[in-house]
Structure 1
């Protein structure tokens, strides 16, 4: 039987765990929405004052975010919002260009009518989120769309890699769409890719997918380079 002291301490630990999870979720949304930019310092004392809690659950929340790759613990600076370098952005999009179009060619022949209906539904949902300015949903809907396109390729390891790449460029994708004004283009091209596949024109769909990814990557790199120059 556990010691009495440990039983008394359990509710306290549970409260800390619950509070830290709530703080981590709140900060996660701010980071993914772009409200907290890469490099922004997350000071524990300031966060504790803002949330009206002690520093213990704040520290636990920051460790959760570090494990998720959203925060870095930097010597002499503490926790800062993680970000990608220009080189990392270029690498991510180059890998996507190499992997996604060939997998679409493998996946497209296996789409059923129900699959096309689901893809069209997803493109509509994405388009509505873009039009409504629901920035917090853009990255996840974009990720879902690309993975659904490739789901029947029969290459689980490649899909795992692509899923990670899409997760890594979640925030950058939102930034690119917001800063470049490419919302209409992204919406249009997603719909065109599905329609081309449905019409049996998978080669054209794969080429459009390649162009779609290349444009997003080049646009984002240009945004990063302008920011560095400023």
Structure 2
């Protein structure tokens, strides 16, 4: 690819500037790297080679660098100038804060939906639960995890607040990694499906209290298992600095 101002045969030739190419490349690489970090294909503490990733994605190092900076802002990548870049370890305090925000939002979402008492409002989420059951049958944890996110987006969308969950999702990398670590645990998937059904059943019955309780139980599951997760995956956890 020839860039603007490239030299051909000793003469400098001006090309129209493609202002979208680099931002789109950066966003795409950011999204791909973020998914790989959150689903633990890139594990906490792993070394990130800008040159290697640029070759893998077929781009220059510039959009990879830009993606690193965005991931750094979310606390998912640590950059040591002139040295190295690493996948950040899991910050438990950050995870707790994000989950607090998410519970606050989703409690209000299910309350809003239950008050509406619209029989068809849960239909998209019901379809997602069915798709999750298929993913379980096919032993596809990655697909199940993606559908789990879609379930919660479907509820927020039905309530008219899809952007708020996206705002929280942008800082959810640490809690999402904790959730991914616990997903293979015995009974975890069954518990998730049971909670999803309880949330939808309460909404459909216009039972506000039951809907709120089901969401709180569901979203508290990962943090309830935190001591066990930290013990089993100590090498993935950020060690708090001693004061």
If the length of structure 1 is used for normalisation, what is the TM-score?
0.74
Structure 1 residue 140 and structure 2 residue 146: aligned?
A: yes
Aligned counterparts of 2:158 and 2:124: Cα–Cα separation in 1: 14
Structure-2 residue corresponding to 1:89: 95
Aligned counterparts of 2:133 and 2:199: Cα–Cα separation in 1: 14
Residue 210 of structure 1 deviates from its aligned partner by: 0.7
Segments of 4+ in structure 1 off by > 6 A? Answer: 13-22
Structure 1 runs not aligned, ≥5 long = none
Residue 96 of structure 1 deviates from its aligned partner by: 2.6
Q: Which of 98, 115, 137 pairs up with 1:109?
A: 115
Answer whether contact 1:41 1:81 (CA < 8 A) is retained.
yes
Report the secondary structure of 1:163's partner residue. helix
Structure-2 residue corresponding to 1:51: 56
Deviations 1:38-59 (A, max 9, x none): 22111234446x7396xx7244
Residue 36 of structure 1 deviates from its aligned partner by: 0.8
Answer whether contact 1:189 1:212 (CA < 8 A) is retained.
yes
From the two aligned structures, give the one with the greater helix fraction.
1
Answer whether contact 1:108 1:202 (CA < 8 A) is retained.
yes
Report the secondary structure of 1:80's partner residue. strand
Deviations 1:27-74 (A, max 9, x none): 4443233111122111234446x7396xx7244224224325443323
What does 1:1-230 correspond to in 2, within 5 Å? 5-7=12-14, 27-47=33-53, 51=56, 57-68=60-71, 69=74, 70-75=76-81, 77-110=83-116, 112-151=118-157, 153=159, 156=161, 160-167=163-170, 168=172, 169-179=175-185, 181-220=187-226, 222-228=228-234
Answer whether contact 2:156 2:165 (CA < 8 A) is retained.
no
Residue 23 of structure 1 deviates from its aligned partner by: 5.8
If the length of structure 2 is used for normalisation, what is the TM-score?
0.70
Structure 2 runs not aligned, ≥5 long = 7-11, 237-243
Answer whether contact 2:114 2:207 (CA < 8 A) is retained.
no
